[in-house]
Chain A
Amino acid sequence: MRVSLNWLKECVEFDLSPEELAERLNLTGTAVEGIEYLGKDLQKVVVGQIKKIKQHPNADYLKVCSVDIRDKELQIVCGAKNMKEGDKVPVALVGAKLPSGLEIKRAIIKGVASEGMMCSESELKIGEDASGLLILDESAEVGEDLAKVLGLEDAVLELEITPNRPDCLGVIGIAREVAAIVGSELKKPKIKLKEVDRSIHQATRVDVLDGDLCPRYAARIIDDITIAPSPLWMKRRLQAAGFRAINNVVDITNYVMLETGQPLHAFDFDRLNEGRIMVRTAHLGETIVTLDGVFRQLDETTLVIADAKEPIALAGVMGGAHSEVSEGTTTILLESANFNPRSIMRTSRKLGLITESSNRFEKGLDPNGPVYAADRAAQLMQELAGGKVFKGVIDVYPKPKRVLSLTLRPQRVNDILGTNLLPKQITQILESLELKVSQLPTRNSQLEVHVPTFRTDLEQEIDLIEEVARLYGYNRIQSTLPESGGKRGGLNLNQRISLCIKDILVSCGLWEVITFSFIGPQQFDKLMLPADSALREAITLRNPLSEEQSIMRTTLLPGLLEVLRYNAHRNRYNVQIFEVGHIFHSRPGEILPHEPVMVAAALTGSWRDNEWHERAKLLDFFDAKGIIETLFDQLGIEDWHLNRTIRPFFHPGRGSEVFIKGEMVGILGEIHPHVQEAFELPNPVTIFELEEAKLVKYASLLRHFEEIPKYPGVTLDIALVVDEVISNEEVYKIIHRWGGRLLGEIHLFDLYRGGQIPRGKKSLAYSLTFRADDRTLTEDEAKKALERIIARLKKELGARIRA
Chain B
Amino acid sequence: MSIREELRCLAEEAQRAISQSSSLQELNEARVKFLGRKGQLTAILKSLGKLPLSERPTVGYLANEIRETLEESIVSREKELKKELLQKKLEAEKVDITLPGKRPCVGRKHLLTQVIEEIIRIFMGLGYSVVEGPEVELDYYNFEALNTPPDHPARSLQATLYVKTAHEPKSSREEVLLRTHTSPVQIRVMERMKPPLYVVSPGRTYRRDVADPTHSPMFHQVEGFAVDKRITFGDLKGTLEVFAREMFGKDRKVRLRPHFFPFTEPSAEVDVSCIVCDGRGCRICKYSGWLEILGAGMIDPNVFNVVGYDPEKVTGFAFGMGVERIAMLKYGVNDIRLFFENDLRFLGQF
Contact = CB atoms under 8 A, between A and B. Distances in A.
Interface of A: 26-29, 31, 34, 162-165, 341-342, 345-346, 349, 362, 415-419, 460, 462-463, 465-466, 469-470, 474-475, 477-492, 495, 499, 502, 505-518, 539-545, 549, 552, 563, 566-567, 570, 572, 575-578, 581-582, 584, 586, 591-593, 595, 607-608, 611-614
Contacts of B229: 484
A577 B342 contact: yes
Q: Most A CB atoms within 10 A — which of B129, B150, B174?
A: B129
Interface of B: 99-100, 102-110, 112-113, 117, 123-124, 126-130, 134-138, 150-151, 156-157, 161-166, 174, 176, 178, 196, 198, 204, 206, 208, 210, 217-218, 226, 228-235, 237-239, 241-242, 255-260, 265-269, 286, 298, 300-301, 315, 339-345, 347-348
B258 A469 contact: yes
Given A463-B265, A469-B266, A515-B340, 10 more contacts: A27-B257, A418-B235, A482-B239, A483-B230, A488-B127, A489-B124, A489-B126, A491-B129, A518-B161, A567-B342
Contact of B137 (A491, A505, A512, A592): A592
A543 B162 contact: yes
Given A417-B234, A511-B347, A591 B265 contact: no
Contacts of A513: 110, 342, 347
A578 to B, nearest CB: 8
A485 B198 contact: yes
A362 B266 CA distance: 23
A489 B127 contact: yes
A540 B164 contact: yes
A568 to B, nearest CB: 11
Nearest to B99: A612
B156 A462 contact: no
Contacts of A26: 257
A349 to B, nearest CB: 7
A549 B206 CA distance: 12
Nearest to B120: A491
A31 B266 CA distance: 15
Contacts of A549: 217
Contacts of B134: 592-593, 595
Contacts of A490: 124, 129
A545 B232 contact: no
A29 B266 CA distance: 11
Q: Most B CB atoms within 10 A — which of A513, A575, A586, A607?
A: A513
Contact of B161 (A480, A515, A544, A592): A544
A543 B161 contact: yes
A481 B260 contact: no
Contact of A417 (B232, B257, B286): B232
A511 B238 contact: no
A223 to B, nearest CB: 40
Contacts of B127: 485-489
A301 B113 CA distance: 49
Q: Most B CB atoms within 10 A — which of A478, A482, A607?
A: A482
A393 B236 CA distance: 51
Contacts of A563: 342
Nearest to A346: B151
Instruction: Determine chain B's interface SS by DSSP, over half rule.
Output: mixed
Nearest to A608: B105
A346 B150 CA distance: 12
Contacts of A581: 204
A514 B342 contact: yes
B344 A474 contact: no
Contacts of A162: 259-260
A487 B126 CA distance: 9
A515 B234 CA distance: 39
A607 B174 CA distance: 49
Contacts of B123: 489
Contacts of B298: 416, 462
The 6 closest A-B pairs by CB, nearest first: A418-B234, A418-B232, A29-B258, A486-B127, A162-B260, A509-B105
A516 B126 CA distance: 32
B2 to A, nearest CB: 60
Contact of A505 (B107, B231, B342): B107
A507 B106 contact: yes
Contacts of A591: 138, 165, 174, 176
A463 B174 CA distance: 29
A642 B234 CA distance: 57
A483 B196 CA distance: 11
Contact of A484 (B107, B196, B204): B196
B218 A570 contact: no
A165 B260 contact: yes
Given A31-B257, A502-B113, A595-B136, A481 B239 contact: yes
B249 to A, nearest CB: 18
Contacts of A577: 107, 342
Nearest to A26: B257
B237 A477 contact: yes
Given A486-B127, A488-B129, A489-B127, A474 B258 contact: yes
A132 to B, nearest CB: 39
B208 A545 contact: yes
A543 B234 contact: no
Contact of B257 (A29, A505, A566): A29
A542 B217 contact: no
Contacts of A34: 286
B65 to A, nearest CB: 47
A516 B127 CA distance: 32
A572 B344 contact: yes
14 contacts: A31-B257, A474-B256, A475-B255, A480-B232, A480-B234, A481-B242, A485-B198, A485-B239, A491-B124, A511-B108, A512-B108, A517-B204, A584-B136, A595-B134
A511 B107 contact: yes
A158 to B, nearest CB: 11
